[in-house]
């Protein structure tokens, strides 16, 4: 089993010294920038559509190309982190992400842009799941909710600032410079991680052979607890990605906002996670995930259905924040459950990241395919599906603590 750098030679798993939350924050910075660039493109789809003279639907495939390739790559990186160490995998993945992101700013056609986004997903997939694995190594279950709440708060903040700040920057510096700025931010984070590398030293674990790894996946998925948790990770990811990938277009279509105004409208997404993420994690540790998860899914469903009603602009901006809150009340809790399903946390977390990002890609793809019925009508379909999911979750997670 992987251990943190600060476990004494004679320490057991019960005497593990919990690392500083500053270390969690430093590692989470890498995830912040990954999610920043992952969602900064969605609000500028109309701008790219006009620039490259293609339909918005054609441009929208940028999102699933990135998200699906990201999901596939996590199955590779997580087991590697068991063998070579979490830190080395994070550094490799972040370095490749920086290089491809900088290259994306040179794209000359929408097809080149889609291809480079696919490569970006393949390179970036080692940061977030490996960080979750490190948290699983270093924090006992009763403390894990707090650490994962902080981590997912950075993730939500990256999503929020990527969509809002990304749209704002595009209005001033253009979309190419946006990718170069992100690459520069990633480089700064990489330098910070390298200067703190001694804080993340850990013992290596012999990696499982392919046959054993597949067996481990099977053993996890044959557990009823694993089946329902991963199923909800997939469906919840599809819901949030589908909605958020098109929220920028929602404001553009319904309120006729420009890129700058769309960025301001989306600014509320991620604020709940940034401010309340650790608190939500503590609440789950104290009161039980069986109460927080169904509540979070319900909030997400109601937020989407209300957005579909085309309410006044200030109310729609507020609903963006409650939609973000719904994510913060579900995904970090799923991650905490999954870290208990197997002793090989790299395998379990890799599967979690794979399912999550396949859900992200499928959600944005499905909404892209049905968008012709109308943006509000598409939101209604997703919202009604989430209502059904909220009801089912009450029974699915009734025994979770």
pLDDT at 9 over 50: no
The three-state (H, E, C) secondary structure of 273-329, written as one string: HHHHHHHHHHHHHHHCHHHHHHHHHHHHHHHHHHHCCCCCHHHHHHHHHHHHHHHHC
- Report the C-alpha gap between 102 and 99 in whole angstroms: 5
- Report the C-alpha gap between 318 and 354 in whole angstroms: 31
The whole-number pLDDT of residue 187 equals 93
Of 285 and 368, more confident: 368
Distances (CA, A) of 12 to 6, 17, 215, 299: 12, 10, 27, 41
Of 64 and 8, more confident: 64
The mean pLDDT value for 207-234 works out to 79
pLDDT at 7 over 70: no
The whole-number pLDDT of residue 373 equals 92
Candidate from 52-66, 336-350, 384-398 with smallest mean pLDDT: 336-350
Q: How many CB atoms lie within 10 A of CB 377?
A: 12
The whole-number pLDDT of residue 135 equals 78
Enter the tokens of residue 81.
Answer: 């982190």
The whole-number pLDDT of residue 12 equals 37
pLDDT at 40 over 90: no
Percentage of the chain with pLDDT > 70?
86
Percentage of the chain with pLDDT > 90?
25
The whole-number pLDDT of residue 303 equals 95
- Report the C-alpha gap between 27 and 127 in whole angstroms: 8
The whole-number pLDDT of residue 211 equals 61
50: CB partners within 8 A, 6+ apart: none
- Report the C-alpha gap between 57 and 79 in whole angstroms: 36
- Report the C-alpha gap between 88 and 197 in whole angstroms: 9
Q: For the chain, which domains are there?
A: 18-199+221-396 (1.20.1250.20)
Of 261 and 183, more confident: 183
Phi, psi dihedral angles at 134 (to 5 degrees): -65, -40
pLDDT at 205 over 70: no
- Report the C-alpha gap between 159 and 32 in whole angstroms: 8
* DSSP three-state, residue 241: helix
Enter the tokens of residue 30.
Answer: 């890498």
- Report the C-alpha gap between 23 and 193 in whole angstroms: 10
- Report the C-alpha gap between 366 and 368 in whole angstroms: 5
- Report the C-alpha gap between 59 and 62 in whole angstroms: 6
Q: At 14, is the pLDDT very low, low, confident or very high (cuts 50, 70, 90)?
A: very low
The mean pLDDT value for 167-185 works out to 85
Distances (CA, A) of 347 to 155, 213, 305, 307, 312: 21, 7, 36, 38, 46
- Report the C-alpha gap between 278 and 273 in whole angstroms: 8
pLDDT at 6 over 70: no
Radius of gyration of the chain (CA): 20
pLDDT at 2 over 60: no
pLDDT at 8 over 60: no
CB 328 within 8 A of CB 277: yes
CB 190 within 8 A of CB 295: no
pLDDT, one tens digit per residue, over 305-328 is 999 999 999 999 999 989 988 988
Alpha helices in 42-174, H assignment, sequence order:
45-52, 56-59, 62-84, 86-104, 110-124, 127-138, 141-173
- Report the C-alpha gap between 285 and 291 in whole angstroms: 11
CB 281 within 8 A of CB 146: yes
The whole-number pLDDT of residue 16 equals 40
Please give the DSSP secondary-structure letter assigned to residue 223: S
The whole-number pLDDT of residue 213 equals 67
CB 163 within 8 A of CB 40: yes
The whole-number pLDDT of residue 210 equals 54
Which of 142, 67, 45, 49 lies closest to 364, judged by CA? Answer: 67
* Residue written as token pair 């277009």: 249
- Report the C-alpha gap between 94 and 190 in whole angstroms: 7
- Report the C-alpha gap between 177 and 189 in whole angstroms: 18
The whole-number pLDDT of residue 209 equals 55
The mean pLDDT value for 153-172 works out to 75
Of 342 and 380, more confident: 380
pLDDT, one tens digit per residue, over 72-90 is 887 788 678 777 788 888 8
pLDDT at 64 over 60: yes
Distances (CA, A) of 355 to 55, 153, 231, 361: 29, 20, 8, 10
pLDDT, one tens digit per residue, over 234-272 is 999 999 888 887 887 898 889 988 777 877 787 777 677
Distances (CA, A) of 66 to 125, 171, 362: 10, 23, 11
pLDDT, one tens digit per residue, over 113-128 is 999 999 999 999 888 8
């Amino acid at each position: 089993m992987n251990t943190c750098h600060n476990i004494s030679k004679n320490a057991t798993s019960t005497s593990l010294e919990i690392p500083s939350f500053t270390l969690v924050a430093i590692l989470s910075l890498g995830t912040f920038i990954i999610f920043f660039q992952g969602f900064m493109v969605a609000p500028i789809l109309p701008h790219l559509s006009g620039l490259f003279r293609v339909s918005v639907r054609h441009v929208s495939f940028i999102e699933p190309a990135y998200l699906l390739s990201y999901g596939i790559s996590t199955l590779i990186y997580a087991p590697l982190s068991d063998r070579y160490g979490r830190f080395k995998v994070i550094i490799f993945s972040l370095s490749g992400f920086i290089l491809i992101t900088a290259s994306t700013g040179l794209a000359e056609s929408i097809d080149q842009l889609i291809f480079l986004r696919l490569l970006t997903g393949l390179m970036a997939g080692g940061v977030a799941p490996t960080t979750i694995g490190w948290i699983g190594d270093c924090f006992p279950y009763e403390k894990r909710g707090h650490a994962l709440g902080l981590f997912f708060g950075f993730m939500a903040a990256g999503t929020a600032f990527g969509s809002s700040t990304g749209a704002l920057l595009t209005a001033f510096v253009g979309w190419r410079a946006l990718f170069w700025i992100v690459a520069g931010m990633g480089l700064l984070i990489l330098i910070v991680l390298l200067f703190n590398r001694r804080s993340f030293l850990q013992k290596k674990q012999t990696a499982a052979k392919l046959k054993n790894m597949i067996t481990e996946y099977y053993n996890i998925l044959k557990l009823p607890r694993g089946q329902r948790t991963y199923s909800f990770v997939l469906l919840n990811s599809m819901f949030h990605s589908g909605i958020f990938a098109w929220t920028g277009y929602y404001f553009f279509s319904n309120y006729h906002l420009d890129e700058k105004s769309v960025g301001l409208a989306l600014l509320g997404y991620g604020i709940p996670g940034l401010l309340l993420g650790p608190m939500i994690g503590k609440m789950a540790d104290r009161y039980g995930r069986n109460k927080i998860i169904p509540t979070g899914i319900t909030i997400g469903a109601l937020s989407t259905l209300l957005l579909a009603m085309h309410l006044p602009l200030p109310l729609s901006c507020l609903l963006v924040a409650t939609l973000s809150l719904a994510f913060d009340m579900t995904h970090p809790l799923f991650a905490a459950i999954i870290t208990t399903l197997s002793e090989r946390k790299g395998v379990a977390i890799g599967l979690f990241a794979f399912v999550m990002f396949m859900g992200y890609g499928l959600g944005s793809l499905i909404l892209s395919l049905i968008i012709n019925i109308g943006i509000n009508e598409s939101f209604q379909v997703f919202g009604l599906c989430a209502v059904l999911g909220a009801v089912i979750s009450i029974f699915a997670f009734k025994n979770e603590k």
